[in-house]
Amino acid sequence: MKAVAIQEFGPAEGLRVIETPEPTPDTGQVLIETEAIGVGGVDAVIRRGTLGSYGFKPGHIPGSEVAGKVIAVGAGLDESLKGRRVWAFTGTGGGYAEKAVASDFLPIPETLTSEDAVAIGTSGAVSHFALAHAHFEAGESVLVRGAAGSIGVSAVQLAARNGAKNVAVTTSNHERGERLKKLGATEVLDRAGTGEGKYDVIIDLIAGPNLPDFFDKLNPNGRLVVVGVVGGMPLSDFAAKLLQNFQKSWSFMTFSADTVPREDLRRVRLEQFGDGMFKGIVHEILPLDQAALAHQKMDDGEVFGRIVLKP
Ligand SMILES: NC(=O)c1ccc[n+]([C@@H]2O[C@H](COP(=O)([O-])OP(=O)(O)OC[C@H]3O[C@@H](n4cnc5c(N)ncnc54)[C@H](OP(=O)(O)O)[C@@H]3O)[C@@H](O)[C@H]2O)c1
Protein backbone atom coordinates (compact mmCIF):
# COMPACT_ATOMS: atom_id res chain seq x y z
CA MET A 1 0.00 0.00 0.00
CA LYS A 2 0.96 3.63 -0.36
CA ALA A 3 1.88 5.58 2.77
CA VAL A 4 3.86 8.67 3.73
CA ALA A 5 6.76 8.33 6.15
CA ILE A 6 9.16 10.72 7.88
CA GLN A 7 12.38 9.71 6.13
CA GLU A 8 14.32 12.64 7.58
CA PHE A 9 13.36 14.61 10.70
CA GLY A 10 13.30 18.38 10.20
CA PRO A 11 11.75 20.35 7.32
CA ALA A 12 8.50 19.22 5.67
CA GLU A 13 10.29 17.74 2.63
CA GLY A 14 11.51 14.94 4.89
CA LEU A 15 8.03 13.43 4.43
CA ARG A 16 8.11 11.03 1.45
CA VAL A 17 5.75 8.60 -0.23
CA ILE A 18 6.67 4.95 0.38
CA GLU A 19 5.33 1.51 -0.51
CA THR A 20 4.84 -0.65 2.58
CA PRO A 21 2.97 -3.87 3.42
CA GLU A 22 -0.56 -3.24 4.70
CA PRO A 23 -0.94 -3.73 8.47
CA THR A 24 -2.76 -6.72 9.94
CA PRO A 25 -5.40 -6.02 12.60
CA ASP A 26 -4.40 -7.36 16.01
CA THR A 27 -6.84 -8.53 18.68
CA GLY A 28 -9.48 -5.81 19.16
CA GLN A 29 -8.34 -3.82 16.11
CA VAL A 30 -10.06 -2.97 12.85
CA LEU A 31 -8.30 -2.49 9.50
CA ILE A 32 -9.59 0.70 7.86
CA GLU A 33 -9.41 1.69 4.20
CA THR A 34 -8.82 5.38 4.79
CA GLU A 35 -10.99 8.04 3.15
CA ALA A 36 -9.79 11.04 5.16
CA ILE A 37 -6.64 11.57 7.26
CA GLY A 38 -6.35 14.47 9.69
CA VAL A 39 -3.09 16.42 9.66
CA GLY A 40 -2.42 17.45 13.25
CA GLY A 41 -0.03 19.76 15.09
CA VAL A 42 1.42 16.72 16.87
CA ASP A 43 2.39 15.19 13.49
CA ALA A 44 4.40 18.33 12.75
CA VAL A 45 6.05 18.28 16.17
CA ILE A 46 7.13 14.65 15.59
CA ARG A 47 8.33 15.44 12.04
CA ARG A 48 10.46 18.36 13.23
CA GLY A 49 12.33 15.86 15.41
CA THR A 50 11.57 17.70 18.64
CA LEU A 51 10.09 14.50 20.08
CA GLY A 52 13.13 12.42 19.02
CA SER A 53 13.70 11.36 22.60
CA TYR A 54 10.36 9.54 22.54
CA GLY A 55 11.99 7.01 20.22
CA PHE A 56 10.58 7.99 16.82
CA LYS A 57 12.85 6.65 14.05
CA PRO A 58 13.20 7.53 10.34
CA GLY A 59 10.54 5.59 8.46
CA HIS A 60 7.88 6.51 11.05
CA ILE A 61 4.45 6.90 9.43
CA PRO A 62 2.77 9.85 11.19
CA GLY A 63 -0.97 10.53 11.58
CA SER A 64 -3.21 9.89 14.56
CA GLU A 65 -6.69 10.40 13.17
CA VAL A 66 -8.39 8.74 10.19
CA ALA A 67 -11.87 8.01 8.87
CA GLY A 68 -12.85 5.34 6.39
CA LYS A 69 -14.38 1.94 5.86
CA VAL A 70 -13.64 -1.15 7.98
CA ILE A 71 -12.33 -3.88 5.67
CA ALA A 72 -11.12 -6.46 8.20
CA VAL A 73 -11.40 -7.13 11.93
CA GLY A 74 -9.01 -8.69 14.43
CA ALA A 75 -9.82 -11.40 16.97
CA GLY A 76 -12.56 -10.51 19.43
CA LEU A 77 -14.44 -8.14 17.13
CA ASP A 78 -17.73 -8.75 15.34
CA GLU A 79 -17.44 -9.45 11.59
CA SER A 80 -20.52 -7.24 11.11
CA LEU A 81 -18.24 -4.22 11.57
CA LYS A 82 -16.92 -4.84 8.05
CA GLY A 83 -18.24 -2.20 5.67
CA ARG A 84 -19.02 0.30 8.48
CA ARG A 85 -17.63 3.81 8.12
CA VAL A 86 -15.68 4.74 11.25
CA TRP A 87 -13.53 7.48 12.76
CA ALA A 88 -10.41 6.14 14.49
CA PHE A 89 -7.54 7.28 16.66
CA THR A 90 -4.38 5.48 15.54
CA GLY A 91 -2.09 6.68 18.35
CA THR A 92 1.13 8.53 17.55
CA GLY A 93 1.33 7.20 14.01
CA GLY A 94 0.11 4.99 11.21
CA GLY A 95 -2.53 7.36 9.85
CA TYR A 96 -0.82 8.70 6.67
CA ALA A 97 -1.57 5.54 4.70
CA GLU A 98 -4.12 3.92 2.43
CA LYS A 99 -4.88 1.47 5.25
CA ALA A 100 -4.55 1.85 9.00
CA VAL A 101 -5.29 -0.24 12.09
CA ALA A 102 -6.88 1.03 15.31
CA SER A 103 -8.56 -0.26 18.44
CA ASP A 104 -10.09 3.12 19.34
CA PHE A 105 -12.82 3.64 16.74
CA LEU A 106 -16.40 4.96 16.50
CA PRO A 107 -19.14 4.73 13.87
CA ILE A 108 -19.73 7.89 11.82
CA PRO A 109 -23.35 8.88 11.15
CA GLU A 110 -24.52 9.15 7.51
CA THR A 111 -24.91 12.89 7.96
CA LEU A 112 -21.20 13.48 8.59
CA THR A 113 -18.51 13.28 5.90
CA SER A 114 -15.25 11.48 6.64
CA GLU A 115 -13.40 14.79 6.17
CA ASP A 116 -15.57 16.50 8.81
CA ALA A 117 -15.16 13.51 11.13
CA VAL A 118 -11.36 13.94 11.23
CA ALA A 119 -11.78 17.70 11.68
CA ILE A 120 -14.03 17.16 14.73
CA GLY A 121 -12.80 13.88 16.23
CA THR A 122 -9.82 14.99 18.29
CA SER A 123 -10.28 18.74 18.44
CA GLY A 124 -13.93 18.69 19.51
CA ALA A 125 -13.35 16.35 22.43
CA VAL A 126 -10.14 18.12 23.53
CA SER A 127 -11.97 21.47 23.54
CA HIS A 128 -14.97 20.06 25.38
CA PHE A 129 -12.90 18.56 28.17
CA ALA A 130 -10.49 21.53 28.34
CA LEU A 131 -13.45 23.85 29.04
CA ALA A 132 -14.76 21.38 31.62
CA HIS A 133 -11.28 21.19 33.21
CA ALA A 134 -11.37 24.99 33.52
CA HIS A 135 -14.77 24.71 35.29
CA PHE A 136 -16.22 26.98 32.60
CA GLU A 137 -19.83 27.97 33.28
CA ALA A 138 -22.45 29.83 31.23
CA GLY A 139 -22.22 33.58 31.74
CA GLU A 140 -18.43 33.59 32.07
CA SER A 141 -16.05 35.32 29.67
CA VAL A 142 -13.55 33.24 27.71
CA LEU A 143 -10.34 33.98 25.79
CA VAL A 144 -9.03 31.35 23.34
CA ARG A 145 -5.32 32.00 22.71
CA GLY A 146 -4.25 30.55 19.33
CA ALA A 147 -7.85 30.22 18.16
CA ALA A 148 -7.21 29.67 14.43
CA GLY A 149 -5.97 26.08 14.78
CA SER A 150 -8.15 22.99 14.86
CA ILE A 151 -8.51 22.97 18.65
CA GLY A 152 -9.13 26.71 18.84
CA VAL A 153 -11.94 26.76 16.28
CA SER A 154 -13.70 24.06 18.29
CA ALA A 155 -13.14 25.80 21.63
CA VAL A 156 -14.60 29.05 20.25
CA GLN A 157 -17.73 27.29 19.00
CA LEU A 158 -18.25 25.34 22.23
CA ALA A 159 -17.72 28.35 24.51
CA ALA A 160 -20.17 30.43 22.44
CA ARG A 161 -22.81 27.68 22.26
CA ASN A 162 -22.56 26.95 25.94
CA GLY A 163 -23.44 30.46 27.00
CA ALA A 164 -20.16 32.36 27.34
CA LYS A 165 -20.81 36.03 28.06
CA ASN A 166 -18.18 36.86 25.45
CA VAL A 167 -15.52 34.91 23.55
CA ALA A 168 -12.27 36.69 22.74
CA VAL A 169 -9.65 35.15 20.45
CA THR A 170 -6.03 35.82 19.54
CA THR A 171 -4.91 35.55 15.92
CA SER A 172 -2.21 37.15 13.76
CA ASN A 173 -4.50 37.48 10.77
CA HIS A 174 -7.48 39.80 10.14
CA GLU A 175 -9.29 37.41 7.79
CA ARG A 176 -9.00 34.55 10.30
CA GLY A 177 -10.40 36.91 12.94
CA GLU A 178 -13.45 37.55 10.75
CA ARG A 179 -13.94 33.80 10.27
CA LEU A 180 -13.64 33.24 14.02
CA LYS A 181 -16.41 35.82 14.55
CA LYS A 182 -18.68 33.70 12.34
CA LEU A 183 -17.97 30.78 14.69
CA GLY A 184 -18.95 32.79 17.77
CA ALA A 185 -15.99 35.03 18.66
CA THR A 186 -17.07 38.45 19.91
CA GLU A 187 -13.66 40.13 20.19
CA VAL A 188 -10.50 39.66 18.10
CA LEU A 189 -7.10 40.38 19.65
CA ASP A 190 -3.59 40.21 18.21
CA ARG A 191 -1.22 37.44 19.27
CA ALA A 192 -0.01 39.52 22.24
CA GLY A 193 -3.59 39.89 23.43
CA THR A 194 -3.38 43.69 23.28
CA GLY A 195 -6.45 45.18 24.98
CA GLU A 196 -7.92 45.87 28.38
CA GLY A 197 -10.34 42.89 28.52
CA LYS A 198 -10.37 40.49 31.48
CA TYR A 199 -11.58 36.89 31.29
CA ASP A 200 -12.77 34.18 33.65
CA VAL A 201 -11.29 31.37 31.54
CA ILE A 202 -8.32 31.36 29.15
CA ILE A 203 -7.87 28.32 26.93
CA ASP A 204 -4.22 28.64 25.91
CA LEU A 205 -2.88 26.65 22.95
CA ILE A 206 0.36 28.64 22.80
CA ALA A 207 2.15 28.90 26.23
CA GLY A 208 5.69 30.14 25.31
CA PRO A 209 7.66 32.95 26.96
CA ASN A 210 4.68 35.37 26.90
CA LEU A 211 2.48 33.11 29.01
CA PRO A 212 2.66 35.31 32.18
CA ASP A 213 1.31 38.31 30.20
CA PHE A 214 -1.94 36.38 29.90
CA PHE A 215 -2.26 35.89 33.67
CA ASP A 216 -2.83 39.66 33.76
CA LYS A 217 -5.93 39.11 31.61
CA LEU A 218 -7.64 36.95 34.23
CA ASN A 219 -10.49 38.21 36.39
CA PRO A 220 -10.28 37.41 40.11
CA ASN A 221 -10.79 33.62 40.46
CA GLY A 222 -9.86 33.28 36.75
CA ARG A 223 -8.44 30.02 35.37
CA LEU A 224 -5.82 29.68 32.61
CA VAL A 225 -5.49 26.20 31.11
CA VAL A 226 -2.57 25.33 28.85
CA VAL A 227 -3.82 22.82 26.28
CA GLY A 228 -0.93 23.13 23.80
CA VAL A 229 2.54 24.62 23.54
CA VAL A 230 2.59 25.90 19.95
CA GLY A 231 4.76 28.83 21.13
CA GLY A 232 7.19 26.59 23.02
CA MET A 233 7.85 26.23 26.73
CA PRO A 234 7.38 29.19 29.10
CA LEU A 235 10.32 30.54 31.09
CA SER A 236 11.07 28.61 34.27
CA ASP A 237 9.83 31.44 36.55
CA PHE A 238 6.51 31.80 34.68
CA ALA A 239 4.44 31.03 37.78
CA ALA A 240 5.97 33.84 39.87
CA LYS A 241 3.23 36.19 38.71
CA LEU A 242 0.57 33.93 40.18
CA LEU A 243 2.08 34.26 43.64
CA GLN A 244 2.71 37.99 43.19
CA ASN A 245 -1.05 38.31 42.60
CA PHE A 246 -2.07 35.99 45.41
CA GLN A 247 -5.10 38.15 46.33
CA LYS A 248 -6.70 37.48 42.94
CA SER A 249 -6.91 33.69 43.45
CA TRP A 250 -5.83 32.94 39.88
CA SER A 251 -5.37 29.32 38.85
CA PHE A 252 -2.95 27.81 36.35
CA MET A 253 -3.67 24.35 34.95
CA THR A 254 -2.54 22.05 32.20
CA PHE A 255 -4.90 19.76 30.34
CA SER A 256 -4.25 16.65 28.28
CA ALA A 257 -7.02 14.50 26.83
CA ASP A 258 -4.85 11.51 27.83
CA THR A 259 -6.29 11.86 31.33
CA VAL A 260 -9.92 11.60 30.17
CA PRO A 261 -11.42 8.10 30.46
CA ARG A 262 -11.85 6.54 27.01
CA GLU A 263 -15.58 5.99 27.56
CA ASP A 264 -16.08 9.70 28.28
CA LEU A 265 -14.18 10.64 25.11
CA ARG A 266 -16.34 8.20 23.10
CA ARG A 267 -19.58 9.60 24.54
CA VAL A 268 -18.68 13.22 23.73
CA ARG A 269 -17.39 12.35 20.23
CA LEU A 270 -20.59 10.51 19.41
CA GLU A 271 -22.65 13.52 20.56
CA GLN A 272 -20.50 15.89 18.48
CA PHE A 273 -20.60 13.65 15.39
CA GLY A 274 -24.39 13.65 15.54
CA ASP A 275 -24.70 17.38 16.25
CA GLY A 276 -25.26 19.19 12.97
CA MET A 277 -24.50 22.60 14.50
CA PHE A 278 -20.96 21.80 15.59
CA LYS A 279 -18.68 22.34 12.60
CA GLY A 280 -15.39 20.71 11.76
CA ILE A 281 -13.33 23.30 9.92
CA VAL A 282 -11.50 21.76 6.95
CA HIS A 283 -8.94 24.22 5.62
CA GLU A 284 -8.09 22.22 2.50
CA ILE A 285 -8.22 18.66 1.21
CA LEU A 286 -4.96 17.45 -0.39
CA PRO A 287 -3.96 14.07 -1.86
CA LEU A 288 -2.02 11.81 0.53
CA ASP A 289 1.12 12.09 -1.60
CA GLN A 290 1.12 15.85 -0.91
CA ALA A 291 1.55 15.38 2.84
CA ALA A 292 4.82 17.37 2.70
CA LEU A 293 2.94 20.32 1.17
CA ALA A 294 0.31 20.04 3.92
CA HIS A 295 3.06 20.25 6.55
CA GLN A 296 4.70 23.17 4.74
CA LYS A 297 1.39 25.04 4.87
CA MET A 298 1.16 24.35 8.60
CA ASP A 299 4.74 25.55 9.11
CA ASP A 300 3.92 28.70 7.13
CA GLY A 301 0.96 29.40 9.45
CA GLU A 302 -1.56 29.31 6.59
CA VAL A 303 -3.98 26.82 8.05
CA PHE A 304 -7.39 27.73 9.52
CA GLY A 305 -8.79 24.61 11.20
CA ARG A 306 -7.37 21.39 9.78
CA ILE A 307 -5.84 20.09 6.55
CA VAL A 308 -7.20 16.71 5.48
CA LEU A 309 -5.34 14.20 3.27
CA LYS A 310 -7.14 11.85 0.90
CA PRO A 311 -5.55 8.63 -0.36
N1 LIG B 1 -4.06 18.85 25.34
C2 LIG B 1 -4.41 17.90 24.49
O3 LIG B 1 -4.98 16.86 24.85
C4 LIG B 1 -4.08 18.09 23.04
C5 LIG B 1 -4.60 17.22 22.07
C6 LIG B 1 -4.26 17.45 20.74
C7 LIG B 1 -3.43 18.51 20.41
N8 LIG B 1 -2.94 19.32 21.40
C9 LIG B 1 -2.06 20.48 21.12
O10 LIG B 1 -2.84 21.62 20.94
C11 LIG B 1 -2.05 22.60 20.28
C12 LIG B 1 -2.90 23.32 19.27
O13 LIG B 1 -3.11 22.51 18.15
P14 LIG B 1 -3.75 23.15 16.84
O15 LIG B 1 -3.60 22.13 15.78
O16 LIG B 1 -5.08 23.70 17.17
O17 LIG B 1 -2.78 24.40 16.67
P18 LIG B 1 -1.95 25.00 15.47
O19 LIG B 1 -2.78 25.01 14.26
O20 LIG B 1 -0.60 24.36 15.43
O21 LIG B 1 -1.76 26.51 16.05
C22 LIG B 1 -2.83 27.30 16.45
C23 LIG B 1 -2.61 28.75 16.08
O24 LIG B 1 -1.60 29.33 16.90
C25 LIG B 1 -1.11 30.51 16.25
N26 LIG B 1 0.34 30.53 16.45
C27 LIG B 1 1.27 29.78 15.80
N28 LIG B 1 2.51 30.02 16.28
C29 LIG B 1 2.35 30.95 17.27
C30 LIG B 1 3.24 31.61 18.15
N31 LIG B 1 4.57 31.39 18.13
N32 LIG B 1 2.72 32.49 19.03
C33 LIG B 1 1.40 32.75 19.08
N34 LIG B 1 0.49 32.15 18.25
C35 LIG B 1 0.96 31.27 17.37
C36 LIG B 1 -1.52 30.41 14.80
O37 LIG B 1 -2.58 31.30 14.56
P38 LIG B 1 -2.42 32.84 14.15
O39 LIG B 1 -1.34 32.92 13.08
O40 LIG B 1 -3.77 33.17 13.64
O41 LIG B 1 -2.05 33.58 15.39
C42 LIG B 1 -2.08 28.99 14.68
O43 LIG B 1 -3.13 28.89 13.77
C44 LIG B 1 -0.82 21.85 19.73
O45 LIG B 1 0.27 22.15 20.58
C46 LIG B 1 -1.22 20.40 19.87
O47 LIG B 1 -0.09 19.57 20.05
C48 LIG B 1 -3.27 19.15 22.69
Cα 159 from chain centre? 16
The CATH class, in words, for 135-254 is: alpha beta
Predicted confidence (pLDDT) at residue 224 exceeds the cutoff of 70: yes
The rounded mean pLDDT for the chain is: 96
Please write the tens of the pLDDT for every residue from 81-125. Answer: 999 999 999 999 999 999 999 999 999 999 999 999 999 999 999
What are the extents of the domains in the chain?
2-122+260-310, 135-254
Q: What is the pLDDT of residue 10?
A: 95
CA distance 232 to 217: 20
Please write the tens of the pLDDT for every residue from 226-236. Answer: 999 888 899 99
Ligand 1 pocket check for 231: Cβ under 6 Å = yes
Ligand 1 nearest-atom number relative to CA 176: 40
Atom 47 of ligand 1, nearest CA residue: 42
Ligand 1 nearest-atom number relative to CA 41: 15
- Mutation pick for ligand 1 pocket among 118, 191, 205 (CB with most ligand atoms within 8 Å): 205
CATH superfamily, domain at 2-122+260-310: Medium-chain alcohol dehydrogenases, catalytic domain (3.90.180.10)
Distance between Cα 192 and ligand 1 center (Å): 15
